[in-house]
Amino acid sequence: MAPPLSAAAAPTTRTARLDALVADVREAVGRGLAPDVTAYLVGEKLAPHLGARDLLTPAQTEGDPERYRQHLLHAEDDGSFSVVALVWLPGQATSVHDHVSWCVTGVHRGEEHERRYRLLPAGAVGERATLVATEDVTNPQGSVCGFAPPGDIHRVWNGCGEKAVSLHLYGADISRLGTSVRRVYDLPADR
């Protein structure tokens, strides 16, 4: 779920636990299954690591007072997947966006809030395309979500009073793209 950000930073030093996660994800992605099935399998690999104190280095959980921050943790050499940590200070939020690939998110620390949308094309309810909010979700520490386009429009924010950190895995090369966002939506929403 990650948003337009400054260009992704180069991968930094990694913990042994993160290396183990990357190896597990490599095996899951290497099966070459459908995107939604791949996302499900990757979510299973991610879940046991969430909250572990030895998953991330202190530098990989540093925030930015100006905006939520992306730390690129791994980009697979063949471009088949990437792992990033997103660090949110209280109140920081994404735009409404969708994604270039399958995506798995897991809350490592704190709590994230998410609003999901459906896009109604122009002519359905008015002259302009419109976003309809379909679901509000609270993702507590340890929760995992996986999805694949289409139908993956959402906005995410930190609604808790402390720093939140989440792991995001994408079926794309974030070291090259800089972001997983396919499109930012600046459209009327129903609420």
**Residues lying near Fe ion in the complex (CB under 5 A):** 1
Q: Which residue lies nearer to Fe ion by CB, 1 or 29?
A: 1
Q: Which residue lies nearer to Fe ion by CB, 30 or 95?
A: 95
| End-to-end Cα separation, the chain, in angstroms | 21
Closest distance to Fe ion from the beta carbon of 2 (Å):
6
Q: Which residue lies nearer to Fe ion by CB, 18 or 153?
A: 153
Closest distance to Fe ion from the beta carbon of 98 (Å):
7
Residue closest to Fe ion (Cβ) = 1
CA angle (88, 141, 44) in 5-degree steps: 110
Q: Which residue lies nearer to Fe ion by CB, 1 or 144?
A: 1
Closest distance to Fe ion from the beta carbon of 1 (Å):
2
Q: Are 108 and 48 in contact (CB under 8 A)?
A: no
Closest distance to Fe ion from the beta carbon of 89 (Å):
18
Q: Are 1 and 144 in contact (CB under 8 A)?
A: no
Q: Within a 13 Å sphere around the CA of 150, how many CA atoms are in the beta-carbon half?
A: 2
Distance CA 162, CA 92 (A): 11
Closest distance to Fe ion from the beta carbon of 78 (Å):
23
Burial string for 101-128 (b: 16+ CB within 10 Å, else e) reads bbbbbbbbbbbbbbbbbebbeeeeeeee
Q: Which residue lies nearer to Fe ion by CB, 1 or 28?
A: 1
Q: Are 131 and 118 in contact (CB under 8 A)?
A: yes
